[in-house]
Structure 1
Amino acid sequence: MDIKSVLNDELIFINESFNSSEELFKFVGEKASSLELVNSGFVEAITKREGEYPTGLQLEKFGVAIPHTDAIHIKDEFISIITLREPVAFKPMDGSSDNVKVNLVFVLGLKKPEGQLGSLQTIMQVIQDETKVQNILNANDSDSIIKEL
């Protein structure tokens, strides 16, 4: 799956501020719901899944999270990208006890497992490139972010 096919300008948020991952999920859930991309159980489901299977990933200079939930909560596929003014704590993917201070979030709203795998591979390639991540974090508009993908 081409990641750009499920990106939506209305779900790319730049330099946002949240006090918690739950607050971020609620924000994305409300936006995705207004676009009729998710059902009413999305926020609860993604929050629960993040608690059970954390997605925080500490890179050399940045923290990234890739939260997602089961396809049953998705009406139409999307990927939301959020850059954060101040890091938000996410539990680490590797199960260690220290929270990851996340600067960049990719919320996956995907229905097909094969699409999820392809999207994750693309995202992993992007986040392993420090220059691309820095360009995304410094971006002032959604086009600049999309260009890095």
Structure 2
Amino acid sequence: MAVVQETLNPKAIIVNSIATSKDEVLKEMIHQLNLIGAVDDEEEFLKDVYVRESQGMTGIGNGVAIPHGKSVSVKDPAVAIATLDDPIEWESLDDQKIQIVVLFAVTDSPDGAQVHLKMLSEFAKKLGDDDVLDALKGANNIDEIVAAFD
């Protein structure tokens, strides 16, 4: 199963977000997930994302963060992606500011954990590729972001 293609909805991609904080960009991304029907309670899901944030860093280095939340407010596993106009502060392994945020929304169900691990694994592989990262950082539109993951 190609988890990246299955969970990537162009309507949940934000290019050149003007968010200036972690909270702003997360709320913006969660709102997009709500609009596509993946999340039905934005505040509840945001709380669950912050629970996960409190357990350890989600900034993986190279200007990338992969926050995630397992939540009863998630109806379908999904991913939201945002590129930022100006990098923002985020707890990160290399102490760099964040320019790309990949937010995973995972159902709080028995198979949710399995889907979550698959999503993390496949996206981490892609995000570990310098060509993919360069394409994401240079993307000017949604199509270019989708193409970077192909």
TM over 0.5: yes
Whether the 8 Å contact between 1:57 and 1:100 is mirrored in structure 2 is no
Number of residue pairs the alignment of both structures matches: 142
Do residues 49 (structure 1) and 52 (structure 2) align?
Answer: yes
Task: Supply the distance in 1 between the matched residues of 2:33 and 2:18 (Cα, whole angstroms).
Answer: 18
Q: Which residue of 1 aligns with 2:140?
A: 140
Whether the 8 Å contact between 2:68 and 2:103 is mirrored in structure 1 is yes
Do residues 103 (structure 1) and 104 (structure 2) align?
Answer: no
Where does structure 2 lack aligned partners over 5 or more consecutive residues? none
Task: Supply the distance in 1 between the matched residues of 2:52 and 2:121 (Cα, whole angstroms).
Answer: 20
Aligned-pair identity (%): 25
TM-superposition CA deviations, 1:90-145 (whole Å, max 9, x none): 113x5xxx744111111001232222222212222212211211111111222221
With normalisation by structure 2, the TM-score equals: 0.84
Which of structure 1's runs of 4+ aligned residues deviate more than 4 A? none
Q: Which residue of 1 aligns with 2:28?
A: 27
Q: Which amino acid aligns with 1:128?
A: G
Within a 5 Å distance, the mapping from 1:1-149 to structure 2 comes to 1-2=1-2, 3-40=4-41, 41-58=44-61, 62-92=62-92, 99-111=95-107, 112-149=112-149
Task: Supply the distance in 2 between the matched residues of 1:37 and 1:20 (Cα, whole angstroms).
Answer: 23
Whether the 8 Å contact between 1:11 and 1:32 is mirrored in structure 2 is yes
With normalisation by structure 1, the TM-score equals: 0.85
SS at match of 1:36: coil
Q: Which amino acid aligns with 2:106?
A: L
Where does structure 1 lack aligned partners over 5 or more consecutive residues? none
